[in-house]
């Protein structure tokens, strides 16, 4: 379990993280989504004690990270997969992580196996790894101490679609055994494939949160009729906000019931009544486009 309450980080007059609160539950994968510069890494660094917060609290397993008895074994972290020592082999990097977590060589082999790095690959220098291999090694480092919680910053970075599917099943297995996963991404498509719950951050503030299903659920209905013109007139008369949809029919800001009643009253045949395609993508873009623009300006 991860609990963040009113967490704020200011650098001088700039507020990087602005009073955010979020919870990541055991048994679930929580995606922390936001455009570049939204404050994800800063929040995660505060969570694991690498950056002191200006105010607010962050706890893992009920305690501040620095107060955990053996943080390296209780919380697996991967905050910057590209920061691994290029001159060391993957196995050496992992052996160091295992020592910090107080576990032995058998766990190193087990972690390598879990992330599907072969012994030959493990004995290669990290400088010669692809980005995807570095991510796998970073995940192995997070898993090696057999933690209850994983905190992963952009773990899908550099993975191809098959790699993302693989990561999803690995993290799902971890969550199914009761583990807590908090992972960040600036790419909606990635996080949508991996997470159960989503927290969306823009310009340091939480702008949406909920289960993936909740956030994907549509508030509009797509409706169509062979008598489209008459349908349009009926919608206008009924005062239902509607706009023409590119694929035909109308996108109406209403649930299906008022539309069914309208069709019955107007004796209108309907060929389509289904949830409008309010994809999470639109939500993400509309919620964060301005933030992203201002940051890059
Ligand atoms: N040490 C620092 N000093 C000053 N500003 C900082 C510092 N660290 C981060 N920032 C600023 O805080 C904001 C949030 O940065 P952060 O790295 O947390 O964003 P992010 O959501 O992780 O973005 P990305 O997806 O690009 O990693 C950015 O505008 C960044 O420039």
Of 10, 38, 284, the residue with max ligand 1 atoms within 8 A of its CB, to mutate for a pocket test, comes to 38
**Percentage of the residues of the chain whose pLDDT score is greater than 90:** 67
For the residues 125-149, what does the mean pLDDT come to?
93
Name the 3-class secondary structure at 254.
coil
Domain limits, the chain: 2-216, 221-275
Please write the tens of the pLDDT for every residue from 16-72: 999 999 999 999 999 999 988 889 999 999 999 999 999 999 999 999 999 999 998
Token pair recorded at residue 10: 């200011």
CA 37 – CA 249 distance, rounded (Å): 39
CA–centroid distance, residue 17 to ligand 1 (Å): 9
At 204, the pLDDT band (50, 70, 90 cuts) reads very high
Angle at 96 between CA 93 and CA 100, to 5 degrees: 140
Pocket of ligand 1 (CB under 6 A): 11, 16, 34, 36-42, 186, 295
Helix boundaries (H) for the chain: 40-47, 71-74, 90-101, 105-114, 119-122, 131-143, 161-176, 188-194, 212-216, 228-238, 256-266, 280-296
Q: How far is CA 198 from CA 123, 188, 191, 284, in A?
A: 37, 10, 8, 11
pLDDT at 178 over 90: yes
User: Global pTM?
Assistant: 0.82
pLDDT at 55: 97
The answer to whether the beta carbons of residues 140 and 76 sit under 8 Å apart is: no
The answer to whether the beta carbons of residues 223 and 60 sit under 8 Å apart is: no
For the residues 89-93, what does the mean pLDDT come to?
94
- Quick one: which atom of ligand 1 is closest to the CA of 34? 21
pLDDT at 278: 60
CA–centroid distance, residue 15 to ligand 1 (Å): 10
CA 131 – CA 128 distance, rounded (Å): 9
CA 227 – CA 49 distance, rounded (Å): 63
CA–centroid distance, residue 236 to ligand 1 (Å): 48
pLDDT at 287: 61
Domain at 2-216, CATH class: alpha beta
pLDDT at 242: 92
pLDDT at 143 over 60: yes
pLDDT at 87 over 80: yes
For the residues 87-101, what does the mean pLDDT come to?
92
pLDDT at 187 over 60: yes
Please write the tens of the pLDDT for every residue from 108-119: 999 999 999 999
């Amino acid at each position: 379990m991860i609990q963040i309450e009113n967490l704020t980080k200011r650098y001088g007059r700039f507020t990087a993280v602005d009073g955010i609160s979020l919870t990541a539950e055991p048994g679930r994968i929580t995606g922390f989504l936001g455009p570049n510069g939204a404050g994800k890494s800063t929040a995660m660094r505060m969570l694991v004690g690498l950056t002191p917060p200006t105010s607010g609290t962050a706890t893992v397993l009920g305690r501040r990270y620095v107060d955990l008895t053996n943080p390296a074994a209780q919380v697996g972290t991967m905050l910057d997969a590209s920061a691994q020592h290029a001159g060391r082999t993957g196995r050496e990097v992992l052996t160091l992580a295992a020592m910090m977590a107080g576990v032995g060589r058998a766990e190193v082999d087990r972690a390598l196996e879990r992330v599907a790095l072969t012994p030959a690959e493990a004995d290669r220098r990290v400088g010669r790894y692809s980005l995807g291999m570095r991510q796998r090694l970073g995940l192995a480092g997070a898993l090696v101490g057999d933690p209850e919680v994983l905190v992963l910053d952009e773990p899908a970075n550099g993975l191809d679609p098959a790699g993302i599917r693989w990561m999803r099943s690995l993290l799902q297995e971890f969550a199914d055994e009761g583990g807590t996963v908090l992972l960040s991404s600036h790419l909606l498509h990635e996080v949508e494939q991996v997470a159960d719950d989503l927290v969306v951050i823009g310009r340091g503030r939480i702008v949406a949160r909920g289960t993936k299903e909740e956030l994907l659920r549509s508030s509009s209905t797509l409706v169509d009729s062979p008598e489209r013109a008459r349908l349009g007139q009926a919608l206008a008369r009924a005062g239902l906000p509607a706009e023409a949809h590119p694929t035909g029919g109308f996108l109406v800001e209403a649930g299906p019931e008022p539309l069914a009643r309208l069709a019955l009253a107007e004796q209108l045949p309907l060929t389509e009544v289904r949830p409008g395609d309010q994809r999470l993508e639109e939500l993400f873009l509309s919620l964060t486009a301005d933030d992203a623009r201002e940051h890059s300006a």
